[in-house]
Amino acid sequence: MISGKSNNVSISSQLLMSLGPHSDCGCVRSQRTMIHFILLFSRQGKLRLQKWYTTIADREKKKVIRDMLMLVLARPPRSSNFIQWRDLKIVYKRYASLYFCAGLENQDNELLALEVLHRYVELLDKYFGNVCELDIIFNFEKAYFILDEFLMGGEVLETSKVAVGGCLEDADTLQEVQKNTMDEYMNKPAY
Amino acid sequence: MLQHSYTHTAMSPSVPLQEMIRAIRSARTQCEERGVIQRECAAIRAQFRQADNGGRSHNLAKLLYVHMLGYPAHFGQMECVRMIASSRYSEKRVGYLGAMMLLDEKQDASLLITNSIKNDLSHSNQYVQSLALCTLACMGSAEMCRDLAPEIDRLLRASNSYIKKKAALCAVHIVRKVHELGELFAPAARSLLSEKNHGVLHGAVVLITELCERSSESLERFRKTVPDLVQIMKGLVISGYSPEHDVAGISDPFLQVRLLRLLRILGRNNETASDAMNDLLAQVATNTDSTKTVGNAVLYETVLTVLDIKSESGLRVLAVNILGRFLLNNDRNIRYIAMTSLQKIVGTDHNAVQRHRGTIVDCLKDQDASVKRRALDLSLALVSASNIRSMMKELLLFLSSCPPELRSQAANGIFTAAERYAPSKRWHIDTILHVLITAGGDVRDETVPNLIQLITNTSELHCYTVHKLYRALLSDISQQSLVQVACWCIGEYGDLLLRGDCQEVEPMQVCEDDVLDALETVLQSHMSSTATRGFALTATMKLSTRITDNVDRIRSIVSIYGSCIDLELQQRAVEYNALFKKYDHMRAAVLERMPVIERNSSGLINGDPTGEPVKEVQPSKVKTEVSLPLPQAADQTCDLLDLLSSSEQQPQSPPAAGSSILTQPLGTDCSAGRDLLDLLGGLEPTPPPTAVTVYEKDGVTLTIVCEKQSDSAMTVTLTGFNSSDCDVSSFTLQAAVPKSVQLHMKAPSGDSLPAGGAAKVTQVVLLNNPNKVNLKMRIRVSYSCRGSTVQETVQVDSFPGL
């Protein structure tokens, strides 16, 4: 008879031993935020903005950027806007000459992410007035400031366009006014 | 390489940011760009060293631009620290931006800004506070978080809406970094739910979600908020038009989706909570406008929530129907997510998903590769006994035009489905043949023996099968698996082929020369692999007892191959020659019809039809071994029979010694192989134990390492490994060995193989072979992957290290 029928071989189900920290995919997995990163790049593969919402080494960032460029720029024109990459969902959309690309946690709502990207474009458009890629190139720090009023820590911060626009205006005013009258409007720190 | 004198440029006034950007963009080559950037960086460095000159923020901004292009900018880290500590808002702004871009918690310099952040959190100007909050939420380390958590808690309670919402998301980051601090924020989070400001509400919902996902006590505590959450959501859904939050008719979709997600977490596995949200979910599902993406985003989240909580069946049906509608949507994105969601529930709500089978199958024809992949997964999961015929038609159609990366999965999926649900044998054979003709190169190796076994078991269709295979062979000899099966059948049932009278196929007059021509074409074609040619040669030989006129032709073919340069073919040819000459009296018995191969549940088949050429031993040695008189061969095959009968459980009495050598035409080099193994054992000293892969499929591999413990005992270590991207569970191994060998399997290390090779499963098997019989082991591997069970059997004939 086959020895396989003896009790020795009936394998009892053992619980999986603990595996240790999830390591492989280079740190993108260490924090569970909604959005892991936002990248803006041109059709020629020039990076125009990079925002990272997880702690990740410089070398790894470069790898991710390279992968994103490769994945997104290779997509045929009428494909879906979602790509499965490692253990993240990549959501991207092309606006004129710029690709807006976000890396999402696997259980997140891709359709909402498309709305997030769209909202960001609307905010840029409102601020710059008919925004184009050059605006973002020459005023990149403004693009970051706008992003930081809309998203924070990988999550949506403010859902009202008007509110975001208002804050940006105020902050810019503060900056301008200060330039003209040095420390006048700037109170001394409370400390 | 462009060289520039730094002293010259250090004196010149710094170029404004925009001009620098223009200069970089106008560089025509990479080298030129590098030159410009080197110049600028040198200037920036010099400026950093100087005292405050009012242009500091510009310099740092320039550096940040250069950093974004990919150039090193670490020398700006200290400048960030200085700028953050400045009293000017413009400088703080750029300084904090620089900190978020250049510093992360791993850099030492990040610690230096803790104090500035602390100060700025209490600044009188909310925009300064906001900068500090934003930076902390972006790159705050665990220590910084611990340090500043009380301050954040204070801001959560006693500040304006603008700060509150930022503090909420900052708290989320803190909880992610330091889980225990969740306790600290729970009370404040609860009270924020009564705020009216959407930004604050959204932040509160995100914070509560985070707390509930981290700790079950928080989950229990926050379940009490379900009625409040339902109220808020209702307000959003039925309220009138709110210009500030409206997106294409949906009021604040971002907040709606987060609320739905929180409700999902709170309702999971809890009847009461699920009941409380039933009506709301039904309302959202029916009233949300689905013409734009934003409405579909909310519907999607609703569906996910309904399917995850303990919802009543009517609501579940509603949710699945929404997914069904999504499948018909013109937007590819919507179709894609619909299939992703359906895949998740195809196990639990199988019948509901079946209703949409038609649409799913249509998606197989979609242009988009992602959609196709999802459709394939889902289609294979939906195959059942009742729809097998129509599904198979679609799947075969898909196979003929599918992208190459999906062929293997499709072919294997089709085989599994066919095996499980074949309505008739003829259908089964036809299906397998169709797959082999279309995608023969992408199927697993076991397909050939499995198909052969299926054919031998279907005696009523032998005539039909051999006719079909003959025709397939005539049209195309490039698909190796198909050719192998065809050759085997022609060799075995050639007489039926020649008789020409088969009702189920068109009549075709086949003469002996035609058949021999076909086989010779295979033998001579450069497209045929060695294994295939082996099949063809054996088939030719077998025909010598099934045809009447052309035996001489066969004789000449066989003798030609006796000097073939390929070892395997040469060996066979020489043996067959011997069968013609010295043992002609036995030829008929040797080459008679094969007995029906007993089939056990895993599709097991005796012997290895694709004999592997043994390359290490010199040809002359092989020849002498092969000229062993056949009666001796019978003794060796008796041992094989032991093994075979023990696993096959054939009730028939052992056949005559002559016919036991039937295993040889199938290609096992057992007799010669064993001697060769002995030779190998004598030739070299025991090599260090190497792992041999005995099984590989879809990234799941099984390797063995053997170690001799004593004269008769050895230890075999089986290691299972999963390098694919889907998790494998219930991974079990069973083993069988010849009768006289004792086997003891120790407990395995586990039964799960997570994706990506993070862990492996090992199992040690102790063998004791006191009678020194020909040692073979059959291992059955079974596991679950992607919701389906895989069961394979492999036979190990040679043990490295023995």
Query: Which residues on A lie below 8 Å from B300 (Cβ)?
Result: 109, 111
Q: Is A132 on the interface with B (CB under 8 A)?
A: no
- Tokens found for residue B509: 């007059």
Cα distance from B123 to chain A (closest Cα, Å)?
Answer: 6
For the cut 80, the answer to whether the pLDDT of residue B12 exceeds it is: no
Q: What confidence tier does B294 reach under pLDDT thresholds 50, 70, 90?
A: very high
| Cross-chain Cβ contact A160/B198 below 8 Å | yes
In three-state secondary structure terms, A155 is: strand
In three-state secondary structure terms, A51 is: strand
Query: Which residues on B lie below 8 Å from A84 (Cβ)?
Result: 370
Which of A62-76, B12-26, B458-472, B614-628: highest mean pLDDT? A62-76
| Cross-chain Cβ contact A80/B332 below 8 Å | yes
Distance CA B694, CA B692 (A): 6
Q: Is ipTM > 0.95 here?
A: no
DSSP assignment of B438-485 equals HHGGGS-TTHHHHHHHHHHH-GGGHHHHHHHHHHHHHH----HHHHHH
Cα distance from A185 to chain B (closest Cα, Å)?
Answer: 10
Query: Which residues on B lie below 8 Å from A189 (Cβ)?
Result: 87, 119-120, 122-124
**Which positions 245-264 of B are in contact with A (Cβ < 8 Å)?**
245, 247, 252-255, 257-258, 261
In this structure, which long-range contacts are made by residues B211-215, counting pairs with CB atoms below 8 Å and at least 24 apart in sequence? B211/B175, B211/B182, B211/B185, B211/B186, B212/B262, B212/B265, B212/B266, B213/A32, B213/B265, B214/B175, B214/B179, B214/B182, B215/B179, B215/B182
Q: What are the C-alpha distances in Å from B647 to residues B600, B650, B665?
A: 9, 8, 20
CB atoms under 10 Å from CB of A129, counted, come to 8
Q: What is the mean pLDDT of residues B211-233?
A: 93
For the cut 60, the answer to whether the pLDDT of residue B613 exceeds it is: no
Distance CA B579, CA B563 (A): 16
**pLDDT at residue A189, as a whole number:** 52
For the cut 80, the answer to whether the pLDDT of residue B775 exceeds it is: yes
Q: Is A59 on the interface with B (CB under 8 A)?
A: no
pLDDT per residue as tens digits for the range B668-725: 444 443 444 344 433 444 445 567 888 888 888 888 888 887 778 888 888 888 888 7
| Cross-chain Cβ contact B750/A16 below 8 Å | yes
First-to-final CA distance of chain B = 62
Among candidate residues B486, B506, B510, the one with its CA nearest the CA of residue B497: B510
Confirm if B490 and B528 have CB atoms less than 8 A apart: no
Lowest-pLDDT choice from B33-37, B547-551, B573-577, B765-769: B547-551
| Cross-chain Cβ contact B301/A55 below 8 Å | no
Q: Is B488 on the interface with A (CB under 8 A)?
A: no
- The pTM of the full predicted model, rounded to 2 decimals, is 0.68
Lowest-pLDDT choice from A119-128, B291-300, B528-537: B528-537
In three-state secondary structure terms, B715 is: strand
- Tokens found for residue B339: 């299939």
Query: Which residues on A lie below 8 Å from B764 (Cβ)?
Result: none
pLDDT per residue as tens digits for the range B743-757: 888 888 888 888 777
Half-sphere exposure of B613 (CA within 13 A, CB side): 17
Q: Is B297 on the interface with A (CB under 8 A)?
A: yes
Q: Which of B71, B92, B257 to mutate to test the interface with A (most CBs of A within 10 A)?
A: B257
Q: Is A173 on the interface with B (CB under 8 A)?
A: no
Identify which has the larger pLDDT, B259 or B773: B259
Among candidate residues A39, A30, A53, A55, the one with its CA nearest the CA of residue A100: A39
Distance CA B151, CA B174 (A): 12
**Which positions 182-201 of B are in contact with A (Cβ < 8 Å)?**
198-199
* Residue of A4, A12, A57 lying closest to B736 (CB–CB): A4
For the cut 50, the answer to whether the pLDDT of residue B279 exceeds it is: yes
**pLDDT at residue B666, as a whole number:** 42
In three-state secondary structure terms, B722 is: strand
| Cross-chain Cβ contact B293/A111 below 8 Å | yes
Location of structure tokens 């959204």 = B202
Q: Is B104 on the interface with A (CB under 8 A)?
A: yes
Residues of chain A with pLDDT under 70: 1-33, 180-191
Among candidate residues B212, B233, B236, the one with its CA nearest the CA of residue B224: B212
**Which positions 162-181 of B are in contact with A (Cβ < 8 Å)?**
162, 165-166, 169-170, 172-173, 176
Query: Which residues on A lie below 8 Å from B323 (Cβ)?
Result: none
Cα distance from B223 to chain A (closest Cα, Å)?
Answer: 21
Q: Which amino acid is at B471?
A: R
Query: Which residues on A lie below 8 Å from B742 (Cβ)?
Result: 3
Cα distance from A33 to chain B (closest Cα, Å)?
Answer: 9
* Residue of A13, A57, A116 lying closest to B751 (CB–CB): A13
Q: Is B97 on the interface with A (CB under 8 A)?
A: yes
- Tokens found for residue B22: 């223009």
Query: Which residues on B lie below 8 Å from A4 (Cβ)?
Result: 734-736, 743, 780
Query: Which residues on B lie below 8 Å from A141 (Cβ)?
Result: 61, 64, 94, 97
Q: What is the mean pLDDT of residues B590-605?
A: 65
Distance CA A25, CA B101 (A): 22
In the beta sheet, which residues pair with residue B767?
B714, B743
Query: Which residues on B lie below 8 Å from A1 (Cβ)?
Result: 646
- Tokens found for residue B452: 């052969």
